[in-house]
Each structure stands twice: as C-alpha cells, then as structure tokens.
Structure 1
C-alpha cells in the first residue's frame, strides 16, 4: 500500500517535496474549504510527477502525470476528477496510485469552460462550468489523453484503465461504453440516474450496453445516490455481459474516499483501494 504523510529518506524535505506539502493549503478548490485534518499528503519518493499538456485538436489541455521510477512499462490508470476539478486532492490521489505501480494521468476535463478551483460553491460550479461540459467533449479529451501517452515507453498500452470520483465516477461509466478497448473502469460514487442537456444519458441508460467491466464503489449512507439507484443500476448491468458489479459500503457516505472532507471514511477508502487493485489485476488479461 502507499506510504503517506512522509518525509524523505534522508529526513529532509527537498524543494519538490515542499511544493507538494504546501499545496495542502494552497492547491484545494475554494469550494471545499476548510480542509479536514484527515487530508493526506503523499510524497514523491519512488515516483515522478509533472504537469503536461495534452493536444486535443487545436487545443492543449493541462494534465497531471505521475509515473513510478524504473523502466516499466506500467499499467495505465487515467483519473477523472471530481466536481471540484483537478485540485490538490486529485493530484495527491494520482501520486498514491503511482505508488501502487500505475502510470497515472489526470486531464483537466473542465479546462475550456473555466477554473472551478476558484469558484466558491457547488451551485456556482454547476452553473458556470459543469452545465457546459458535454459528454462528447469529455470522451474526446479522454481519447486524446490515451493517445498522448502512446509516446511514453513507460506506459503499458495493453493495460489501459480508468477511475473517477463523483462527477468523474459517472464519466467512467459513460467512457467505458464509448471506448470498449480499455481493460477496466472503477467508478467511485458516480451519479447513476442523473441526466442533463450536456449529458443526455445516465449511467443506468447505458449499463446493458457495456462491454468493459466496471467496478462501482458506493456508500450506503449516500443521500444523492440511493440504494434504489444502485439496485436499478445492478439490474441493468445484469442484462448485459460486461461482468460489471457494484460494491456498497453500508456505513460510508458520498465522498468516502475524499480524505480532505468530513465525509471521509478511512475503513471504506482503504478497502475500496484494495478492491480497485484486485479488479485491475483480475481483468488485465481480458
């Protein structure tokens, strides 16, 4: 498992380490302040992190890339950020996944519509940014992200996986339908029944069509994604042949993996990370 809240092996914090730890107070979205004391900081020991630009047509979208040291190639894990964008929590999660042996890249899927990290609340984020981000745009950006890493010899392109949180969790369900070539998807508490003008289909709508095995990780105390939603989703998944399944942690709430929030549930988060790794390993030969 990952080593977190660390100091370098020599007992000193170098400049890059300082940048990571300073980000705990400067890199989070305004809408999530104040930050809970449980927020995790993962250091850069054994991994290499960089900000990169992913070409998408005439645009270039920012992304955060983290790769284990060593020759690889490493299985790929694309990270879809939560509603608060590519802020410090998601970047830290990328570092944790890299320490588990993944080539990790998280594109900023809101880049064209605006910087949600500077907005004050969810309602403002929804109105000014999220309501303008189409499924077609997101799928194209994720396609471009996977194409971008083909130049890296450290990426195992036969082992492409995708994981997402909240808004990014729904993105995983939809992208798994869009791109049947990925090995697996892992959706942390992604909305199952929601639709909008820019996302006209829900996860439930496309569930029977899936060919990619997706693991859904949900909280039993989630007031937004209810047990009824989960039961309906599993029923639709069972109509198809993807082998997708959902695990519900009865005592966990929405956002149980988000260690910087009061909703954090360490037990559920730890078990969910273990399930993610097992899921990827199980389907690597698919």
Structure 2
C-alpha cells in the first residue's frame, strides 16, 4: 500500500498530511478523512490504509498545522481514561483556535490539492470525519456542494449549536451530499438529532442518523478506552456502501 506525507499549501501556511492509495496505476476516487480531536497519529494512518485498500485515495490532514507538524503533543500509544483529561486539556487550545473561518480556508486547500493529484480520479469526493472531524466534514460539504458527494461522521459532536454559524444551519441551502452519521449514545440529544434530520430533509438529501447502542464517544478509535470492536465494524459496514454509491470507481 503506497503512502505519502504530502505538504499542502494553504492561505495560512503549509499543512502536513498522510495519504494512502491502492498500489496500481489507476486513478481512484478521493476521500478526505478528518481526524478526531487527538489529531493525525498512527491509528488514523492505519484507518486510512485500510480504507485505501477498498479503492480510494485517502487524505488525512493535520488540522493543527498552524501550531506545528503532527504530533504536536506527546501522545501515548494508548489513551486511557486515566490520562484522557490531561491530554484533552493540552489539546483544547488547539481545538478552540480552529475557527470556522480557518476550517473553510483549509477545506478549500484540501479540495484543490485532491483535484490536482495524478492518483485521484476526476469526479466527486467524500468528506468523512470523527469527533470534531465530523463537523469539519460537514462544513467542507456545504462549502463545496459541487465536489462533495458523500459525508460520513462518527461519534460526532457540535453539529447543532446555538451559535450563528452552527453547521446544521447551512444544510438546507448548501448540502447536496448523501450523509451517514453514527453516534454514540450520549453524543447528541434526541432534540438535536431531530433538528439535524429536519435540516437534511429540507435539503432533500439522502441521510441516515443512527445511535450505536452501548457505545461511548470515540468508539472507532482503537488507541483509546472508548474503542468498541463491534461498533467499529458497524461503522465500516455503513461507510463502505455510502462511498460505493457516491464515488464511482474508474
């Protein structure tokens, strides 16, 4: 499985990233994979390689590149509940600095980068994300409705907020992609889910929002205590058909 560590020019600097793609001479549909709050690290690279094995060019950016290349903090190999609060406290300034304006500038750069890759097929792309990455994926899709044909988010948060730039507010007029959201039991309230589904209905897009029973936030991440093997497989069983429908293979 070929992998690369591209450097992507943006209006604010150069973003480091990880890319994986099939070992052949064909061009493949692109998947922009946004990481969770812990950022670009080995478990995301492994997930990218696995997904690339299904016929996709997968790009995982370091969304914190303005503060330096990944990893920005000394992450342990396994993020247990005993050290999670300390790690989150270190990361919160980076998360808070990643404003909507920065997200959108970066999305423009990532989409443009994928369009120029010789390994990437012409046509639509997918944006997927985990935790805060689900917000980034949805913002990318609403900013680039002509390019993003599929959105997937897992253990997502902050999709429905009281802020004037809440992600759900852009859905009715700007989203054209098919969407799947897989949530942990306490990721969103029933009212929040209903608000989100109403926005998807108003956009007229295919969508599915489901709560994975017995899961906690972060259930796809094998380097954390939140990992749930059955829920991880369920997320793959939802993601691959979505990509298959939205991104035709060459």
Structure 1 residue 123: Cα displacement: 2.6
Secondary structure of the structure 1 residue equivalent to 2:122: strand
Alignment of 1:1-286 (within 5 A): 47-57=1-11, 59-114=13-68, 116-118=72-74, 120-126=86-92, 128-181=93-146, 182-191=148-157, 192-194=159-161, 200-209=164-173, 210-219=175-184, 221-222=185-186, 224-284=187-247
Are residues 172 and 264 of structure 1, via their aligned partners in 2, closer, same or farther at CA, if it must alter by over 3 Å?
A: same
Structure 1 residue 144: Cα displacement: 1.3
Are residues 150 and 104 of structure 1, via their aligned partners in 2, closer, same or farther at CA, if it must alter by over 3 Å?
A: same
Are residues 269 and 129 of structure 1, via their aligned partners in 2, closer, same or farther at CA, if it must alter by over 3 Å?
A: same
User: In structure 2, how many angstroms separate the alpha carbons of the residues matched to 1:218 and 1:161?
Assistant: 19
CA-to-partner distance for each residue in 1:74-99, whole Å, 9 max, x for gaps? 11011111111112221121111111
Normalising by structure 2, what TM-score?
0.85
CA contact (8 A) 1:84 1:116 kept: no
User: In structure 2, how many angstroms separate the alpha carbons of the residues matched to 1:91 and 1:180?
Assistant: 27
Structure 1 residue 58: Cα displacement: 6.5
Aligned to 1:29: none
User: In structure 2, how many angstroms separate the alpha carbons of the residues matched to 1:58 and 1:177?
Assistant: 21
Are residues 157 and 139 of structure 1, via their aligned partners in 2, closer, same or farther at CA, if it must alter by over 3 Å?
A: farther
**What is the number of equivalent residue pairs in this alignment?**
233
Normalising by structure 1, what TM-score?
0.75
The structure with the largest alpha-carbon Rg is 1
Are residues 193 and 150 of structure 1, via their aligned partners in 2, closer, same or farther at CA, if it must alter by over 3 Å?
A: closer
Secondary structure of the structure 1 residue equivalent to 2:218: coil
Structure 2 residues not aligned, in runs of 5+? 76-85
User: In structure 2, how many angstroms separate the alpha carbons of the residues matched to 1:110 and 1:166?
Assistant: 15
Q: Which has the higher contact order (CA 8 A, sep 6+)?
A: 2
CA contact (8 A) 1:189 1:225 kept: no
